[in-house]
């Protein structure tokens, strides 16, 4: 089974702090994604990556950056956390090559005070 893990289930940070959310997948997937999920708004794509050291902006990249130094790891960075970034963050991976079923991690619930 594909396993996607996220470094924390719950995180509390203060406004202005730098926040790192880590995601690791163990199935050699090409594609990795970061979403945020807010009540009534569904999943919104922040950034995605098709390959190592490659990144593409999603629908809501402002205030975020990402890093993919290794194929299995995709990190989401909040350079200076703000209260409107309080949300559930979901990481996903997919095989690529038009095999686009996404496998999701359990999510990180981030609270910014």
Partner 1 sequence: GESVGLHLPTLSVQEGDNSIINCAYSNSASDYFIWYKQESGKGPQFIIDIRSNMDKRQGQRVTVLLNKTVKHLSLQIAATQPGDSAVYFCAENTASGGSYIPTFGRGTSLIVHP
CB 60 within 8 A of CB 76: no
Site for partner 1 in 27-86 (CB under 8 A): 30-31, 33, 35, 39-45, 48, 50
DSSP code, position 40 = T
Place of tokens 């997937």: 29
SS3 at position 107: coil
Selected from 24, 78, 90, 112, the binder of partner 1 by CB under 8 A is: 90
CB 87 within 8 A of CB 44: no
CB nearer to partner 1: give 17 or 58.
Answer: 58
State the residues that interact with partner 1 by CB under 8 A. 4, 30-31, 33, 35, 39-45, 48, 50, 90, 92, 94, 96-98, 100-107
């Amino acid at each position: 089974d594909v396993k996607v893990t996220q470094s924390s289930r719950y995180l509390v940070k203060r406004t202005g702090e730098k926040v790192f959310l880590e995601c690791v997948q163990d199935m050699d997937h090409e594609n990795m994604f970061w979403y945020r999920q807010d009540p009534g708004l569904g999943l919104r794509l922040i950034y995605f990556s098709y390959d190592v050291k490659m990144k593409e902006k999603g629908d809501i990249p402002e205030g975020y950056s990402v890093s993919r130094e290794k194929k299995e790891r995709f990190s989401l960075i909040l350079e200076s956390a703000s209260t409107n970034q309080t949300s559930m963050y979901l990481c996903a991976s997919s095989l690529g090559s038009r095999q686009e079923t996404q496998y999701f991690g359990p999510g990180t619930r981030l609270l910014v005070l």
